[in-house]
Amino acid sequence: MRRPSRHPSEIPTLLITLLVITAMALVSIAAITGMTAGTAFCVSLCAVPALGMIMLGASTMANVQHHQALLRQAYRIPVDGRTGENQVLDELGDMVRECRQALSCEPVDVFIVPGRQVNAYTFGLHTPKVIVLYEPMLKIMNRDELKFVIGHEMGHIVYGHTLLNTLLGGMAGMPSSLGAALLFAFTFRWWARACEYSCDRAGLAACGDLTRGIAALAQLAVGDIDTAAELQQALAVIERQDDSVGENMGELLSDHPMIAKRIKALQEYSR
C-alpha cells in the first residue's frame, strides 16, 4: 500500500532548521577562533557532520541502555506471530503487523510499559526500531484507535524522523550565543511539530477510520471517551483550548502541535 504523503510544511521547516544549524556553527567557529567568515564557513561544513557523527554514537549507546531497561520492566508484543500465551498481546501483535503492511514499515519491536500517562513514543537508530505504548492506552482505546497510535509512531520510522530527531536534537548542545540557541530551539520545534502532522496521516492510513483517529487524538488530551456524545464534548473542550492565547503561545515551545490543530489538519487531509 502507498504510504501517505508528508505534511507540506515538514520539508521546508527541516531545510530552515539545517540552515540555522550551519549558521550557528559558522558564527560559533568565527567567534571562538577569530577566523574570517569564509574560512569559518569551510570549517563549519566539516564541523557540523562531525558533530552529527558524535551525537549518533552517543545516541546509539543511550538507545541500547534504554532498550535493556525496557526489557526489564515492559511486556514485549509478539510482532512476528501469535504465541498463544496471551490473547491481548497476540491481538496487539496482529495490529502491529497490519500497520506495518499498511505503511510498508520496516520491522519493529513494540513494548508496553506501566504508567499513568496516555502516550506512546518511538526511538532507535538501527532496525528494529522500538515503539513504546503506555499501558493505560490499552484500557481506554479500541482496536482502531490503537492502530492509529501505532501507525502514528511507525510514521516517525518510515519518514526518517527517529534518525533526524537524534541528530538535530543533539545540535542543541553546540556552543552558541543565547539568541542563536533560542532561534535553533524554535526552528527545531517548528520542524518537530510538522513531523507530528505527517505522522497523524500515517496513523489514519493505518487505522482507516477518520472518526477513530480523531477519537484517539482526543483521548491523548482528555482521557477515556466511550460514546459519540462524550467525543463531541471532548472536542468542544479541545476547541476552546485552541482559542486560548496562552495555549497558542505555549505551542511555540512545544515539539507537538495542539490537539485541536492536529484534528483540523487530519480532517482537511481526509477530504
Instruction: Match 484507535 to its residue by C-alpha cell.
Output: 145
Residue 26 contacts residue 36 (beta carbons within 8 Å): no
Q: What are phi and psi of 123, to 5 degrees?
A: -150, 170
Q: What are phi and psi of 252, to 5 degrees?
A: -60, -25
Give whichever of 41-50, 188-197, 217-226, 227-236 has the largest mean pLDDT: 188-197
Exposure of 268 by Cβ count < 10 A (0-12 exposed, 13-18 middle, 19+ buried)? exposed
pLDDT tens by residue, 217-262: 999 988 888 888 888 998 888 888 777 777 778 888 898 999 999 9
User: Mean pLDDT over residues 69-81, rounded?
Assistant: 85
Residue 154 identity: M
Position 22 scores a pLDDT of: 74
DSSP state of 169: H
Residue 209 contacts residue 192 (beta carbons within 8 Å): no
Report the 10 Å Cβ neighbour count for 53. Answer: 10
pLDDT tens by residue, 199-225: 999 999 999 999 999 999 999 988 888
Position 234 scores a pLDDT of: 86
**What are the cell numbers at 81?**
506471530
Domain ranges in the chain are: 10-270
Residue 62's SS3 state is helix
Residue 194 contacts residue 13 (beta carbons within 8 Å): yes
Q: What are phi and psi of 148, to 5 degrees?
A: -60, -45
**What are the cell numbers at 1?**
500500500
